[in-house]
Amino acid sequence: MSQNSLNTTLNDLTSQVRLFLKEREWEKYQNPKDLAESICIEAAELLEVFQWVRTEESEQFKNKPQKAQRIKEELADVLIYCLGMASTLNIDLTVAVLEKVEHNKKKYPVEQYRGKANFDT
Amino acid sequence: MSQNSLNTTLNDLTSQVRLFLKEREWEKYQNPKDLAESICIEAAELLEVFQWVRTEESEQFKNKPQKAQRIKEELADVLIYCLGMASTLNIDLTVAVLEKVEHNKKKYPVEQYRGKANFDT
Amino acid sequence: MSQNSLNTTLNDLTSQVRLFLKEREWEKYQNPKDLAESICIEAAELLEVFQWVRTEESEQFKNKPQKAQRIKEELADVLIYCLGMASTLNIDLTVAVLEKVEHNKKKYPVEQYRGKANFDT
Amino acid sequence: MSQNSLNTTLNDLTSQVRLFLKEREWEKYQNPKDLAESICIEAAELLEVFQWVRTEESEQFKNKPQKAQRIKEELADVLIYCLGMASTLNIDLTVAVLEKVEHNKKKYPVEQYRGKANFDT
């Protein structure tokens, strides 16, 4: 595989997921409702890594290769279903993320939010 | 912004999220446990778009610009927290996805799984 | 066990969960944040029973004893963590449910909502 | 309402939810797949109360009436959908919980697990 992190776009990754599905003739199963459920299910499996782990303990996970590896794998599962959803609905995920980051920049201006949590919903 | 989908890598997107957090001095809040919760919460908001929508109806969402737009935004939220988690734990998401796709290719050989669902866990 | 469905209250069930935890000296682990995560994780395991199952197929599950049994067990897991949360925070779940049903009755008056979905959020 | 926590069984609560749905002719929407999604969505709304809240801070929520009230309401939402699922599939939730508690008692014998976390899945 000649691809690496320095030149692989989200579109490249989406193509890989699409090819994987096409080769197995699995596109027919990829309806958006079940993909949304699948993203939820994988997100909960990621959360399970942190079940009964206190906040400060979780902050040490970056120094625990086994935990980091498990998180990496669960995160990949979440992402692969996100790519599947994007592929199914012809969503450009790169644009989606760039637009949302721009949106958040305006919503939370630096001068007003520097050092301050905004975490009230 | 000169970036576009054809040359923006996942690493570029992670850098943008990291910069967004750094400018607001919000890195301190980004512990892995709360990021995992946040991915779950955003995944459930995405799922909410499909609540009480029957499977076949969801298959028509690709022709409904309003639905597709909402899905795009919710998907971006899921992804941005995934990028935050990757950034916090120094995970290379591109590698994570490529490795997982390779893993799945071996787990589900084309000859054996073509046209057949494998959806038992 | 002399308890049965005709005379067992939610408070009785909460007492049983509390006793189970007390006997094992597990109350100390039962902080509300991890209980909320656990409810989410178990809810996703319940959802997994329906992953890649179309809506109309799911409607036949009431006639499939194996599916119904698995759902029953996953539902019990969700509920047991809800009882644990109620116990930890001294919440009376019976009152909580009765109040919410009253609230919903007012929010969705019969005359206005009979036969009509209200499923916009 | 003459019902209270001391004499209201889980079956009584299920009957109330069933009546609420019947009066509005909403039973037709209550398919198991969407109910499972709804339980997940409400569980994530409950989790949102704890987003960016550190473990020890969450342990103080029992002394914060506003937080406890919000948790009570979100917990009721989770429960009401669980009752809806039980009603739709003719599951006796009381039996489900009692059986699961018995199962857990055997799985985690007191002598072996007293004071020890068992939290590996």
**Least Cα separation, residue D53 to chain B (angstroms):** 8
Q: Chain C contacts of A34, Cβ < 8 Å? A: 51-52
Identify the residue among D35, D38, D40 best suited for mutation to test binding to A, counting A beta carbons within 10 A and taking the highest.
Answer: D40
Contact C51 A34 (CB under 8 A): yes
Going A28 to A33 to A34 to A35, the CA torsion angle's sign is positive
Given a cut of 90, is residue D81 above it in pLDDT? yes
Question: B51 or C6: which carries more pLDDT confidence?
Answer: B51
pLDDT at D25: 93
pTM for the structure as a whole: 0.94
Contact B54 C55 (CB under 8 A): yes
Per-residue exposure over A94-103, b if at least 16 CB sit within 10 Å of its own CB, e if not: bbbbbebbee
By percentage, how much of chain C surpasses pLDDT 90?
83
Cβ of residue C21 closer than 8 Å to a chain A Cβ: no
Q: Residue C93: which residues within 8 A CB-CB, separation 6 or more?
A: C10, C11, C14, C82, C83, C86, D75, D76, D79
Question: B6 or C43: which carries more pLDDT confidence?
Answer: C43
- Per-residue pLDDT tens digits for D11-28: 899 999 999 999 999 998
Cβ atoms within 10 Å, residue B87: 19
* Eight-state DSSP code of residue A43: H
Q: Which residues in chain A come in under a pLDDT of 70?
A: 1-3, 118-121
Between CA C99 and CA D51 the distance in angstroms is: 25
Contact B119 C52 (CB under 8 A): yes
Chains with at least 3 CB pairs less than 8 angstroms from chain A: B, C, D
* Eight-state DSSP code of residue A29: G
Chains with at least 3 CB pairs less than 8 angstroms from chain C: A, B, D
Helix (H, G, I), strand (E, B) or coil at B118: coil
Q: Chain C contacts of D110, Cβ < 8 Å? A: 23-24
pLDDT band at D3 (very low <50, low <70, confident <90, very high): low
pLDDT at A121: 38
* A3, A31, A117 member nearest B59 (Cβ): A31
Residue C77: exposure state from Cβ atoms within 10 A (0-12, 13-18, ≥19): buried
User: For the residues C69-78, what does the mean pLDDT come to?
Assistant: 98
pLDDT at D121: 39
Amino acid at A116: K
Average pLDDT, chain D: 92
Q: What is the 3-state secondary structure (H, E, C) of chain D?
A: CCCCCCCCEHHHHHHHHHHHHHHCCCHHHCCHHHHHHHHHHHHHHHHHCCCCCCHHHHCCHHHCHHHHHHHHHHHHHHHHHHHHHHHHCCCCHHHHHHHHHHHHHHHCCHHHHCCCCCCCC
Q: Chain D contacts of A52, Cβ < 8 Å? A: 117, 119
Cα B46 to Cα A36, B112, C64, D20: the distances in Å are: 7, 33, 30, 27
User: For the residues B50-55, what does the mean pLDDT come to?
Assistant: 96
Residue B10: exposure state from Cβ atoms within 10 A (0-12, 13-18, ≥19): buried
pLDDT band at C89 (very low <50, low <70, confident <90, very high): very high
